[in-house]
Amino acid sequence: MRLDVVTIFPEYLEPLNVSLVGKARARGQLQVGVHDLRNWTYDRHHTVDDTPYGGGPGMVMKTEPWGDALDEVLADGYEAGAHGPVLVVPTPSGRPFTQELAVELSERPWLVFTPARYEGIDRRVVDEYATRMPVYEVSIGDYVLAGGEAAVLVVTEAVARLLPGVLGNAESHRDDSFAPGTMANLLEGPVHTKPPVWRGRGIPEVLLSGHHGRIARWRRDEALRRTTAHRPDLIGRTAPAAFDKKDREMLSILGWAPDPEGERYGRFWRRVEDVEE
């Protein structure tokens, strides 16, 4: 896979040299180009932003540097043999970046990222490149960052670990929380390792029992416990068929029941205390 990032803060992308992504690069599984947007400014002050039409606070990133940068980065990539680029635009007004989208992007041969500072990029830039390639406007969460660079790091790491051979163990994806599929998407429960006692704290006995069936059940129950506590939305929208009898027992203990009323709009479970409202 080839990655290009155009940014006014190339040094912000230094983490791409480290850890999993850095190793994938070193092994040649990932080609990364980081490009300084200001290389495509021609005035003394290397201006990349201007005041918004229609008024309002903040500044908007200008069309010309982005257009010239993207034209050159794309031309150089094609020249180097890359093909099938998609544009990935991190923005708080994008669609949510999910594991499903990470899988989709990991299947593309070439990602071009355009992280913006200020109030974002002049709309005409996205509209222009959308006529030439798929454009994904993505948000990594409902909070406001100072710019899209951190989101590029997030998306890159989520995508890179899915590339063939990067993680080593192909099994490790199937169990990922949020892995797409028909199974219930549950958060993973607690994990433990040696020593067996630390500051007076032991290990749940079942994990030392060697009884694989009971261990799997305990892990499933802990996953249900954690998911109901932290992500009730994930439980609510899980089809009843994704839970077995023991799951239902545990859900009942945790105060969850089937919601026949909600089924019409994809809410299959509700908290029992919500009943008498």
Question: SS3 of 112, please?
Answer: strand
Closer residue to ligand JBE in complex, CB, 66/243: 66
Residue of 10, 15, 52, 92 with catalytic role: 92
Residues found near ligand JBE in the complex (CB under 6 A): 90-92, 94, 139-141, 143-145, 147-148, 151
The four Cα atoms 71, 73, 79, 81 give a dihedral, to 10 degrees, of -120
Query: Minimum distance from CB of 123 to ligand JBE (Å)?
Result: 15
Which phi and psi angles does 117 have, rounded to 5°? -105, -175
DSSP at 52 = P
CA-nearest of 61, 85, 64 to 73 is 85
Query: Minimum distance from CB of 190 to ligand JBE (Å)?
Result: 29
Closer residue to ligand JBE in complex, CB, 42/143: 143
Confirm whether 222 is a catalytic residue: no
Confirm whether 176 is a catalytic residue: yes
CA distance 57 to 120: 12
Peptide bond into 195 cis (omega under 30): yes
Confirm whether 220 is a catalytic residue: no
Residue of 50, 76, 107, 119 with catalytic role: 119
Radius of gyration of the chain (CA): 23
Query: Minimum distance from CB of 160 to ligand JBE (Å)?
Result: 17
Any idea how long the chain is? 277
Which residue's C-beta sits nearest to ligand JBE? 90
Closer residue to ligand JBE in complex, CB, 53/143: 143
Closer residue to ligand JBE in complex, CB, 7/91: 91
Confirm whether 38 is a catalytic residue: no
- Helix (H) / strand (E) element for 89: namely strand 85-96
CB 209 within 8 A of CB 236: no
Residue of 38, 108, 161, 237 with catalytic role: 161
Residue of 72, 104, 157, 176 with catalytic role: 176
Query: Minimum distance from CB of 59 to ligand JBE (Å)?
Result: 14
Residues catalogued as catalytic: 92, 119, 161, 176
